[in-house]
Amino acid sequence: MTITYDSLLSEITAPDGRDILDPATGELVGKAPFRSVDVLDDAIARAKAAQPAWASRSDDERKALLLQAADAIDAAAEPLAELLSREQGKPLEGPNARFEVGACANWLRATAATELPGRTLIDDGETHATIHYRPLGVVGAIGPWNWPMMISIWQIAPALRMGNTVVVKPSEYTPLSVLALAHVLDTVLPTDVVNVVAGEGDLGARLSSHPDIAKLMFTGSTRTGQAIIKSSADTVKRLTLELGGNDAGIVLADVDPKAIAQELFWGAFINTGQTCAALKRLYVHTDVYDDVCRELAEVANTTPMGRGLDEANVLGPLQNKAQFDIVADLVDKARSSGATILTGGAPDAEAPGYFYPTTLVANIDNANPLVSEEQFGPALPIVRFESVEEAVEMANGLDVGLGASVWSADLDAARAVAARIQAGTVWINSHGGVHPMIPFGGVKKSGYGLEFGVEGLAAVSAPQVING
């Protein structure tokens, strides 16, 4: 059966549900069925009941079903992308809605292709010990509103591959996208292997404390992550936490500003800056500072922003009013401090939607709130430095450390600087790219635990050593 946009929406909405509005226009997208804690408890019970049969399937069977799920997403890619664009706001084109849906299918395939076999640890004639990776049971997943489908797959795919079942609580802002994704998965997967329950924050609190949730995966703010750590303590839950970041980029003096401008721009402004591992504060050597600012402004001024369904656009609105207000307040504080607004900084108060113009802020102090607080939107502060030591000190000066980047024509010099930066991932001459085979996770208050690749599979497994 062919899945259309209308048929997809009819499967996941409810007449008495919560209104979900398009952040670009304010128009109704659909009514999301927000459920109670009792409904969540029932979903957990069903996931628990379904888990033994799922775990008893062979690894090859589970891999085959993940591949079929990827094919199902591909077959429904256009209606999924349209719904995502309407609900989240991101454009269809560019590294946005179609890209995100495609990434869901690609991640399922990559997860199916990744191997985590048991292995012999020691066999010396006296001692024989092997390690094996067993299912945990039911994995809980709490996702964000910025990449709702893709991050849900990041949580679902490895958990399923290792024999767990999953209960997902999507963000209140983007529940329809995740419900639609689950509907497509359900056309292939056994009943109750993946369960999505939309609702308020009390559902997340229940997931983090429920005794039948063996592992919780969370992507979101540091503050919420800290609450999850506390509420999961009584049940000693395993946790993977990908929390807030305020990623630094360091541009060394030997770069060609024009050559790096596009990569710098998209490192900061992918998904209109609404990405955990986006470049959020840029440190530029004084020798190339003015040229980098000029080239970035040129890219910003020629990159179209608007409603996502218009395929000419590659930047969209902020997803919600709360985030719009955060960005506007931080830019206003920067302006009041005497910083230079190179471009943007003046949203149209009369226009519909939560559009904040692409904004570059120069001549700003490192202590300014736009630098020290995560803006999570289309506003990039550009700080001047004179020595590498100064740049590294500023980059390491915050209590978060998700990602960072170093930009240089000299790879050895860049790698030497990268080794000094306190971040889970440091990119060289790019920023924010992730790969399904490369582990990803933060340090400091950006969380703990690794996703992707072999390490990601291990993180949703219970290692068991057999000694003898």
Catalytic residue among 87, 242, 295, 451: 242
Which among 241, 135, 155 has a CA at the least distance from the CA of 463?
135
Write out the H or E segment, with its range, that includes residue 247: strand 247-251
Write out the H or E segment, with its range, that includes residue 141: strand 138-142
Question: Which residues are CB-neighbours of 189 under 8 A, at least 6 positions away?
Answer: 65, 69, 160
Question: Which residues are CB-neighbours of 259 under 8 A, at least 6 positions away?
Answer: none
Distance of CA 32 to the CA centre of its chain: 22
Residue where the block lists tokens 């010396």: 124
Dihedral sign for Cα atoms in the order 339, 340, 342, 347: positive
Kind of pairing, strands 138-142 and 215-219? parallel
Token pair in block for residue 180: 């639609």
Catalytic residue among 82, 93, 104, 276: 276
- In this structure, are residues 108 and 69 in contact, taking their beta carbons and an 8 Å threshold? yes
Dihedral sign for Cα atoms in the order 25, 26, 28, 32: positive
User: For this structure, is 78 an active site residue?
Assistant: no
Which runs of consecutive H residues, i.e. helices, occur in 133-232? 148-161, 175-186, 201-209, 222-231
Kind of pairing, strands 403-407 and 247-251? parallel
User: For this structure, is 393 an active site residue?
Assistant: no
**Catalytic positions, please?**
242, 276
